[in-house]
Copies of this chain bind each other. A is one copy, B any other.
């Protein structure tokens, strides 16, 4: 049986029984408590390398055999991990090449995790050996339902071999023509004109970090090497097994998962919102979380899997507050609402020592099932059991927000304008303004099929290659509503500025010319329909064409009275341009109007403060992200939700 054939929603998480070898009774206690909590699936084997292969080439699977067999006997499925996320000490001692080299050309010594060189032939050889053995031994075990490749893949390496691979990658990209690279990297600037491929080095704080296209290419290369390494492991486990594969994605911005998604059978991600932090409301944390659920769900337009989360607290914030009673259940149900096929924790039992011993877990150091956290987790186990019907249900979004990882890289790298740029934060603000109407929203990459949507929001889409400009043009021409903002289409895929005026290649579509961008201290404001809305950070001076409507103007500074927001009909569609960084209040109003024009079906609801609404399949979720009871009216029916309560309709 594989994961797609399971009837129930998955419940469980990471489990490291190898930490308790030599502790009598702990494994039995684990199983007993997991069953008590309703756990039906655990991830095993992450970081187990050193306990399986204690000596090079000498494998001992006996403890793992026992663990998997026990789990199976007790009705608990296994997601089996390849152990490449961390190395045994003997490996790097014998083969130092597996260790990464930092950007400043300092080579790591043994330690930590997630820090091997992705191109290392030795590391690939050693992972293939152990992966194949795992595949052969457990690939058909009835407990095992999926492969979990490595763990939280990320990072880059600057070793000589990676330098050489980088040069090869560049040769391939630039048709073996170094002049093409010189043009893309604008090599005449500061005399950085290369004449031999061997002159090229990866970006470095002791060398060059200011050539934007160089940095972009390095990030793309490193992304590719990571995926290549992943696929290398996939090949190994597929040798003896046809189970589905995944790897756990993360919230991070450094990896372009839109290039990765096609290589996993189900998208999974590790979900660690900063609940109860002192910078934002719980509702806003829930918006952040929902954005990410929808991002990972939209990748395959299919249910995904929340691979990690915590039942209580984490151990990496400055202040690690406990989840309030009810919040873990609510947050878990939010994942389900947005398309997760289950709720998995890191971890089943708190480790006794080392770095993560104060990270939340189902079973605490006391070893009892008497804790508040365990009690709530068991309650959630029952709820999940009762809601197997939700499994498989999909979203049906009419609107989408574009979040483009590489665009984020380009915005981060650019030198100038304003240092606080907040690309992802801005996408989340736009998402929030849309989502607040109770609709489902997709979060898509720039290469997604635009035609699915009646409205597309594309905040800060700074990097617009000609091919993307063409697709935007066609989308709007075909009747789509497209909302863009300041910083739209300044550069092409190599961070070369578009010539001829911004938004590059789309001036006629938006019916504007963006002459210059002001970065501001403090605040300005825009006036729209007689109301005033605060703007911050960025104010563009835009010139509308004759047939372009100005729907908001600036209030202050030397461009007071000039256009700030415009609307332009283009063929069958319409293009909005928001020239300044407005707040959610203004965006909510603008999107309200735009959705109406787009014919988006907005549900007839009134949502009290803190309430979020989402549909999965035919079920509608109302969730109260607030420590106060709140009310909602949906299609004329009144609902009252307890603090941190939820309802499935």
Contacts and interface: CB of A to CB of B under 8 A. Distances in A.
Interface in A104-140: 104-113
Given A204-B109, A359-B416, A185 B104 contact: no
A595 interface: no
26 contacts: A19-B188, A47-B188, A47-B189, A47-B191, A50-B191, A86-B191, A89-B200, A108-B206, A109-B201, A110-B208, A186-B354, A189-B356, A190-B354, A210-B354, A211-B354, A278-B522, A313-B416, A314-B416, A315-B416, A319-B418, A319-B519, A320-B519, A322-B516, A355-B415, A357-B416, A367-B500
A350 B501 CA distance: 13
A48 interface: yes
Interface of A is mostly: loop
Q: Which of A372, A419, A518 has the most CB of B within 10 A?
A: A518
Interface of A: 16, 18-19, 21-22, 47-51, 54-55, 83, 86-90, 93, 102, 104-113, 183-196, 198-201, 204, 206-213, 277-278, 312-316, 318-322, 324-325, 350-359, 364-368, 371-373, 414-420, 494-502, 513, 515-516, 518-522, 541, 558
Nearest to A100: B206
Given A55-B195, A206-B109, A498-B365, A351 B319 contact: no
Q: Which of A191, A195, A211, A558 has the most CB of B within 10 A?
A: A191
A104 B106 contact: yes
Given A196-B90, A353-B186, A417 B358 contact: yes
Nearest to A88: B191
Contacts of A49: 191
A353 B195 contact: no
Nearest to A209: B111
Contacts of A54: 193, 195
A524 to B, nearest CB: 11
Nearest to A111: B208
A357 B208 CA distance: 16
Given A109-B105, A418-B320, A354 B189 contact: yes
Contacts of A90: 195-196, 199
A499 to B, nearest CB: 6
Contacts of A513: 366
A516 B371 contact: yes
A414 B516 CA distance: 45
Contact of A419 (B318, B371, B416): B318
Given A277-B521, A315-B416, A359-B416, 20 more contacts: A50-B191, A86-B191, A86-B192, A88-B191, A89-B192, A89-B195, A89-B200, A111-B201, A189-B356, A190-B354, A190-B355, A312-B516, A321-B520, A353-B495, A357-B414, A358-B417, A367-B500, A371-B515, A372-B516, A372-B541
A228 B142 CA distance: 60
A316 B415 CA distance: 7
Given A278-B522, A520-B321, A521-B278, A21 B188 contact: yes
Given A190-B354, A516-B371, A499 B318 contact: no
A184 B183 CA distance: 54
B501 A352 contact: no
A352 B182 CA distance: 12
A325 B558 CA distance: 7
